[in-house]
Amino acid sequence: MQNLKTASLEVKQNQLWILCQQSLPQQQNWLPAHTVEQLVHHIHTLSVRGAPLIGLSASLLLALLAESGQSPQQLAIALDTLRASRPTAVNLMNNLDQMKLALAEPDIVSALSKEALRLVEEDKQLCERIANAGAALVKPGSRLLTHCNTGGLATAGVGTALGVIQRAFSQGKVNHVWVGETRPLLQGGRLTAWELGELGIPYQLICDSMAASLMGKKQVDAIWVGADRIAANGDVANKIGTYSLAVLAHHHQIPFYVAAPGTTLDTHCPSGDAIPIEQRAAREVMGVAGSFGEVQWAPEHARVYNPAFDVTPAELISGWVLDTGVVTPAQVQAGAFQPK
Ligand code: MRU
């Protein structure tokens, strides 16, 4: 396969490398993702994370394994193992469904490689279209709030919600970005803060619990988040804490936008109730770990509830900003996301 590089993925001499998102921003470590076991480990530890990136990394690895001489049977097992590595973000399943079609072609090596590269290129284009469609909704002088990380690190392109913010900033319409730290794994505090700093976009980091008071003080003009899965009725699964922001936005009459590519749509999932929500290890809530070390503050045997995602009901969402354009609540109610 040809060499390629995105913000957090690299294919070099037919091997996949990933930028470890667990040790950012203090360290920029590129880790090998040469085998299914390695990539699944990176996905479990969130060294590879973000809905689009998970799907793209799995697709690239599958194509590279085909090039290395793995048999169709081995590739089919690899595909199923990768597909099961994280349950909530549907981009992984959607991308691997495309790869499965390529696995049925006569020249598997060429078909898988072509498809994986196409998915990467497509993701870049989808991000561009989302950024343009979303930026048109941003009013001049905006102070925007975002959650988790939806930037270049999580995609092959400029990102989704963060791509919108970046595009609107370049159009002179963003005065300030509030970044929710995103407990428990701090994707906002570690990754979004870092990306905004690199882009020169003015931001302030807040604890998740500070969002309500900021909205009460009229310091937030709109909220922009990404998505891991959008159900047919418009309900959205995204990083835990997204739902609280949507409720707060509704109370304070602040627009709440979801930005995502078509690969995040699951038209066969009727509503948020049917979206599988990943439960994660207790230690993530009991303390924190990263390149800075590990600390635990909770009592040794504390009982913990740790869902990685929550579901925001469609009625709290002001607009779904997709690569195909802005979908309004009325369009969602009329069946815009129902299976065709
Ligand atoms: O657990 P993560 O870090 O993979 O969760 C990521 C999110 O919830 C993002 O908002 C979503 O995947 C969109 S990334 C463009």
CA of 105 to the centre of ligand 1 (A): 32
Give the closest residue (by CA) to ligand 1 atom 10: 226
Together in a domain, 199 and 319: yes
Confidence at residue 151, expressed as pLDDT on a 0 to 100 scale = 98
User: 261 Cβ partners below 8 Å, 6+ apart?
Assistant: 52, 91, 123, 126, 127, 130, 160, 322, 323
CA of 188 to the centre of ligand 1 (A): 10
- Rounded Cα distance between 333 and 314, Å, is 9
CATH number, domain of 325, equals 3.40.50.10470
pLDDT in tens, the chain (340 residues): 999 999 999 999 999 999 999 999 999 999 999 999 999 999 999 999 999 999 999 999 999 999 999 999 999 999 999 999 999 999 999 999 999 999 999 999 999 999 999 999 999 999 999 999 999 999 999 999 999 999 999 999 999 999 999 999 999 999 999 999 999 999 999 999 999 999 999 999 999 999 999 999 999 999 999 999 999 999 999 999 999 999 999 999 999 999 999 999 999 999 999 999 999 999 999 999 888 889 999 999 999 999 999 999 999 999 999 999 999 999 999 999 999 8
Nearest to 48 by CA among 84, 73, 24: 24
Q: Percentage helix, strand, coil, to 5, in the chain?
A: 40, 20, 40
- Rounded Cα distance between 227 and 264, Å, is 7
Confidence at residue 292, expressed as pLDDT on a 0 to 100 scale = 85
Assess if residue 340 is contained within a domain. no
Please give the number of the atom of ligand 1 that sits closest to the Cα of 160. Answer: 15
CA of 51 to the centre of ligand 1 (A): 5
Give the closest residue (by CA) to ligand 1 atom 6: 50
Confidence at residue 294, expressed as pLDDT on a 0 to 100 scale = 93
CA of 100 to the centre of ligand 1 (A): 24
Residue from 130, 181, 239 whose mutation best tests the ligand 1 pocket (most atoms within 8 A of CB): 239
Nearest to 21 by CA among 148, 190, 201, 239: 190
Containing structural domain, residue 297: 132-333
Please give the number of the atom of ligand 1 that sits closest to the Cα of 238. Answer: 8
CA of 111 to the centre of ligand 1 (A): 29
Together in a domain, 124 and 61: yes
90, 96, 100, 103 alpha-carbon torsion, rounded to 10°: 180
Confidence at residue 280, expressed as pLDDT on a 0 to 100 scale = 98
Together in a domain, 198 and 109: no
Give the closest residue (by CA) to ligand 1 atom 7: 239
Assess if residue 338 is contained within a domain. no
Please give the number of the atom of ligand 1 that sits closest to the Cα of 260. Answer: 15
Together in a domain, 279 and 206: yes
Whether the bond between 25 and the residue before it is cis, its omega within 30 degrees of 0, is yes
Together in a domain, 182 and 213: yes
Together in a domain, 283 and 309: yes
CB of 166 closer than 8 Å to CB of 131: yes
Together in a domain, 179 and 260: yes
Residue from 238, 240, 245, 306 whose mutation best tests the ligand 1 pocket (most atoms within 8 A of CB): 238
Confidence at residue 322, expressed as pLDDT on a 0 to 100 scale = 98
Please tell me the total count of domains within the chain. Answer: 2
- pTM for the structure as a whole: 0.97
Together in a domain, 60 and 158: no
Give the closest residue (by CA) to ligand 1 atom 8: 239
Assess if residue 244 is contained within a domain. yes
Please give the number of the atom of ligand 1 that sits closest to the Cα of 264. Answer: 13
Assess if residue 240 is contained within a domain. yes
Assess if residue 107 is contained within a domain. yes
273 is known as an active-site residue: no
Among residues 93, 128, 163, the one where a domain terminates is: 128
Among residues 101, 128, 155, the one where a domain terminates is: 128
Among residues 85, 111, 128, the one where a domain terminates is: 128
Options 228, 235, 266, 310, the catalytic residue? 228
What lines the ligand 1 site, CB under 6 Å?
Answer: 46, 49-52, 89, 148, 150, 154-155, 159-160, 187, 226-228, 238-239, 308
Together in a domain, 15 and 138: no
Together in a domain, 88 and 157: no
Confidence at residue 99, expressed as pLDDT on a 0 to 100 scale = 98
Together in a domain, 246 and 195: yes
Together in a domain, 253 and 317: yes
Confidence at residue 340, expressed as pLDDT on a 0 to 100 scale = 86
CATH number, domain of 32, equals 1.20.120.420
Assess if residue 239 is contained within a domain. yes
CA of 48 to the centre of ligand 1 (A): 10
